[in-house]
Amino acid sequence: MNGHRHVMGPDKPLDAATRKRLDAQLAVTRQLAARYPNVAAAEAAGFHRYGAFTPGLGTHYVDPDHTSGVTGAIDRDELLHPVLIFDGSEPDSPLAGFMYISFTADASVPQPEGFAGPNDHWHYHDSVCLRTRADGAIDAPFGADADVTPAMCTTVGGKWMGLTNYMVHVWTAPGYANRYGVFHEQNPHLDCPDGTYHQIPWREMGDRLTTCRSG
Protein backbone atom coordinates (compact mmCIF):
# COMPACT_ATOMS: atom_id res chain seq x y z
CA MET A 1 0.00 0.00 0.00
CA ASN A 2 0.98 3.57 -0.66
CA GLY A 3 1.79 5.93 2.17
CA HIS A 4 -0.25 6.58 5.30
CA ARG A 5 -3.75 5.69 4.24
CA HIS A 6 -7.18 5.72 5.76
CA VAL A 7 -8.89 2.41 6.37
CA MET A 8 -10.52 1.47 3.09
CA GLY A 9 -13.43 -0.92 3.12
CA PRO A 10 -16.03 -1.23 0.39
CA ASP A 11 -17.26 2.04 -1.08
CA LYS A 12 -20.25 3.43 0.76
CA PRO A 13 -23.55 3.78 -1.12
CA LEU A 14 -24.35 7.25 -2.41
CA ASP A 15 -27.71 8.93 -2.61
CA ALA A 16 -28.88 10.11 -6.03
CA ALA A 17 -27.86 13.74 -5.54
CA THR A 18 -24.36 12.87 -4.36
CA ARG A 19 -23.90 10.36 -7.18
CA LYS A 20 -24.89 13.02 -9.70
CA ARG A 21 -22.33 15.47 -8.29
CA LEU A 22 -19.59 12.84 -8.29
CA ASP A 23 -20.38 11.70 -11.83
CA ALA A 24 -20.11 15.31 -13.02
CA GLN A 25 -16.72 15.71 -11.32
CA LEU A 26 -15.34 12.48 -12.78
CA ALA A 27 -16.63 13.43 -16.24
CA VAL A 28 -14.34 16.48 -16.15
CA THR A 29 -11.31 14.27 -15.47
CA ARG A 30 -12.15 12.10 -18.49
CA GLN A 31 -11.99 15.16 -20.74
CA LEU A 32 -8.26 15.35 -20.04
CA ALA A 33 -7.48 11.95 -21.57
CA ALA A 34 -7.53 13.34 -25.11
CA ARG A 35 -5.44 16.35 -24.11
CA TYR A 36 -2.65 14.35 -22.45
CA PRO A 37 -2.65 10.88 -24.02
CA ASN A 38 1.03 10.24 -23.28
CA VAL A 39 4.14 11.64 -21.60
CA ALA A 40 5.20 13.52 -24.73
CA ALA A 41 1.96 15.51 -24.76
CA ALA A 42 2.28 16.31 -21.06
CA GLU A 43 5.88 17.51 -21.40
CA ALA A 44 4.94 19.64 -24.41
CA ALA A 45 2.31 21.30 -22.20
CA GLY A 46 4.90 22.13 -19.52
CA PHE A 47 4.55 19.19 -17.14
CA HIS A 48 7.64 17.86 -15.34
CA ARG A 49 8.28 14.38 -13.97
CA TYR A 50 7.88 14.15 -10.21
CA GLY A 51 9.58 11.00 -8.97
CA ALA A 52 10.24 7.62 -10.54
CA PHE A 53 7.85 5.03 -11.94
CA THR A 54 6.62 2.89 -9.06
CA PRO A 55 4.49 -0.23 -9.53
CA GLY A 56 0.92 0.42 -8.51
CA LEU A 57 1.49 4.18 -8.65
CA GLY A 58 2.93 4.92 -12.09
CA THR A 59 4.95 8.06 -12.88
CA HIS A 60 3.62 11.43 -11.79
CA TYR A 61 3.91 14.63 -13.84
CA VAL A 62 3.24 18.08 -12.38
CA ASP A 63 2.47 21.37 -14.09
CA PRO A 64 4.45 23.89 -11.97
CA ASP A 65 2.23 26.71 -13.21
CA HIS A 66 -0.78 25.21 -11.41
CA THR A 67 0.38 24.55 -7.87
CA SER A 68 -0.20 27.90 -6.17
CA GLY A 69 -3.40 28.07 -4.14
CA VAL A 70 -4.51 24.51 -4.92
CA THR A 71 -6.52 23.43 -1.88
CA GLY A 72 -8.13 20.13 -2.81
CA ALA A 73 -11.50 21.86 -3.08
CA ILE A 74 -12.25 20.00 -6.34
CA ASP A 75 -13.94 22.88 -8.12
CA ARG A 76 -13.87 22.94 -11.91
CA ASP A 77 -10.58 24.82 -12.15
CA GLU A 78 -8.78 22.32 -9.91
CA LEU A 79 -10.40 19.40 -11.73
CA LEU A 80 -8.87 20.63 -14.98
CA HIS A 81 -5.34 20.89 -13.52
CA PRO A 82 -4.43 17.62 -11.81
CA VAL A 83 -1.11 15.88 -11.46
CA LEU A 84 -1.00 13.39 -14.36
CA ILE A 85 -0.12 9.71 -13.82
CA PHE A 86 1.47 7.72 -16.66
CA ASP A 87 2.28 4.06 -17.17
CA GLY A 88 6.01 4.73 -17.51
CA SER A 89 8.23 7.69 -18.32
CA GLU A 90 8.95 7.14 -22.02
CA PRO A 91 7.46 9.65 -24.49
CA ASP A 92 4.81 7.14 -25.60
CA SER A 93 3.90 5.96 -22.09
CA PRO A 94 0.10 6.23 -21.86
CA LEU A 95 -1.98 8.22 -19.41
CA ALA A 96 -3.16 6.01 -16.55
CA GLY A 97 -4.88 8.35 -14.11
CA PHE A 98 -4.78 11.58 -12.14
CA MET A 99 -3.77 12.84 -8.73
CA TYR A 100 -5.36 15.76 -6.96
CA ILE A 101 -3.37 17.39 -4.22
CA SER A 102 -3.79 20.09 -1.63
CA PHE A 103 -0.65 22.18 -1.88
CA THR A 104 -1.88 24.27 1.07
CA ALA A 105 -2.58 21.52 3.63
CA ASP A 106 -0.28 18.79 4.91
CA ALA A 107 -1.01 15.81 7.13
CA SER A 108 -0.86 17.94 10.27
CA VAL A 109 -4.37 19.29 9.50
CA PRO A 110 -7.66 17.61 8.50
CA GLN A 111 -7.79 16.25 4.96
CA PRO A 112 -9.57 18.24 2.24
CA GLU A 113 -13.27 17.75 1.65
CA GLY A 114 -12.43 16.55 -1.84
CA PHE A 115 -14.83 14.80 -4.16
CA ALA A 116 -18.54 14.39 -3.54
CA GLY A 117 -19.31 11.56 -1.14
CA PRO A 118 -17.18 9.68 1.39
CA ASN A 119 -15.27 7.34 -0.92
CA ASP A 120 -12.25 9.43 -1.98
CA HIS A 121 -9.27 8.15 0.02
CA TRP A 122 -6.75 10.94 0.62
CA HIS A 123 -3.26 9.93 1.73
CA TYR A 124 0.11 11.47 2.50
CA HIS A 125 3.76 10.44 2.85
CA ASP A 126 6.49 11.17 5.36
CA SER A 127 10.27 11.49 5.32
CA VAL A 128 10.54 12.40 1.64
CA CYS A 129 13.69 13.76 0.02
CA LEU A 130 13.24 15.64 -3.27
CA ARG A 131 15.98 16.79 -5.61
CA THR A 132 15.34 19.00 -8.65
CA ARG A 133 17.13 18.30 -11.93
CA ALA A 134 18.35 20.99 -14.30
CA ASP A 135 15.47 20.21 -16.69
CA GLY A 136 12.87 20.79 -13.95
CA ALA A 137 12.17 17.11 -13.28
CA ILE A 138 12.29 15.95 -9.67
CA ASP A 139 13.91 12.82 -8.25
CA ALA A 140 13.09 11.16 -4.94
CA PRO A 141 16.48 9.56 -4.21
CA PHE A 142 15.17 7.44 -1.33
CA GLY A 143 11.53 6.94 -2.28
CA ALA A 144 8.99 7.77 0.43
CA ASP A 145 7.93 6.55 3.88
CA ALA A 146 11.39 5.21 4.69
CA ASP A 147 13.86 6.08 7.45
CA VAL A 148 15.30 9.04 5.58
CA THR A 149 16.83 11.80 7.72
CA PRO A 150 17.35 15.46 6.84
CA ALA A 151 21.11 14.85 6.91
CA MET A 152 20.83 12.02 4.36
CA CYS A 153 18.81 14.29 2.10
CA THR A 154 21.29 17.16 2.40
CA THR A 155 24.11 14.80 1.45
CA VAL A 156 22.53 14.16 -1.97
CA GLY A 157 21.61 17.81 -2.53
CA GLY A 158 17.90 17.39 -1.82
CA LYS A 159 15.15 19.06 0.21
CA TRP A 160 13.64 16.98 3.03
CA MET A 161 9.92 16.97 3.87
CA GLY A 162 8.70 15.56 7.17
CA LEU A 163 5.11 15.36 5.90
CA THR A 164 3.81 15.79 2.37
CA ASN A 165 0.57 17.41 1.32
CA TYR A 166 -2.65 15.42 1.13
CA MET A 167 -3.31 13.74 -2.22
CA VAL A 168 -5.86 11.42 -3.84
CA HIS A 169 -5.64 9.26 -6.97
CA VAL A 170 -8.42 9.10 -9.56
CA TRP A 171 -8.40 6.19 -12.01
CA THR A 172 -10.63 7.37 -14.86
CA ALA A 173 -8.18 7.17 -17.78
CA PRO A 174 -9.24 4.76 -20.58
CA GLY A 175 -7.87 1.26 -20.08
CA TYR A 176 -6.90 1.80 -16.44
CA ALA A 177 -10.18 1.30 -14.58
CA ASN A 178 -9.24 0.11 -11.10
CA ARG A 179 -11.08 -2.96 -9.83
CA TYR A 180 -10.49 -1.77 -6.28
CA GLY A 181 -12.26 1.53 -6.85
CA VAL A 182 -11.85 4.79 -8.73
CA PHE A 183 -10.08 6.43 -5.75
CA HIS A 184 -7.93 3.53 -4.59
CA GLU A 185 -4.33 4.44 -3.76
CA GLN A 186 -2.75 1.81 -6.03
CA ASN A 187 -3.70 0.48 -9.44
CA PRO A 188 -2.78 -3.15 -10.24
CA HIS A 189 -2.58 -2.32 -13.97
CA LEU A 190 0.65 -0.43 -13.25
CA ASP A 191 3.05 -3.34 -12.93
CA CYS A 192 6.74 -3.73 -13.78
CA PRO A 193 7.98 -4.91 -17.21
CA ASP A 194 8.17 -8.50 -15.94
CA GLY A 195 4.57 -8.40 -14.72
CA THR A 196 5.53 -8.22 -11.03
CA TYR A 197 5.51 -5.43 -8.44
CA HIS A 198 9.04 -6.17 -7.18
CA GLN A 199 11.01 -3.05 -6.26
CA ILE A 200 14.64 -2.30 -5.54
CA PRO A 201 15.65 -1.37 -1.95
CA TRP A 202 14.94 2.29 -1.25
CA ARG A 203 18.59 3.05 -0.46
CA GLU A 204 19.48 2.12 -4.06
CA MET A 205 16.97 4.47 -5.70
CA GLY A 206 19.19 7.44 -6.54
CA ASP A 207 18.23 9.02 -9.86
CA ARG A 208 16.71 5.89 -11.42
CA LEU A 209 13.58 6.42 -13.49
CA THR A 210 11.91 3.31 -12.09
CA THR A 211 11.81 1.49 -8.76
CA CYS A 212 11.20 -1.84 -10.53
CA ARG A 213 13.86 -4.50 -10.19
CA SER A 214 13.18 -5.48 -13.79
CA GLY A 215 13.46 -1.92 -15.06
Domain boundaries, the chain: 16-125+165-188
The whole-model pTM stands at 0.92
Confidence of residue 121 (pLDDT cuts 50, 70, 90): confident
More confident residue, 203 or 37: 37
- 159-163 β-sheet, strand order: 138-139, 126-132, 159-163
pLDDT in tens, 140-154: 999 888 889 999 999
- 59-62 β-sheet, strand order: 48-49, 59-62, 83-86, 95-106, 165-170
Question: Is the pLDDT confidence value at 6 over 60?
Answer: no
State mean pLDDT over 63-78: 86
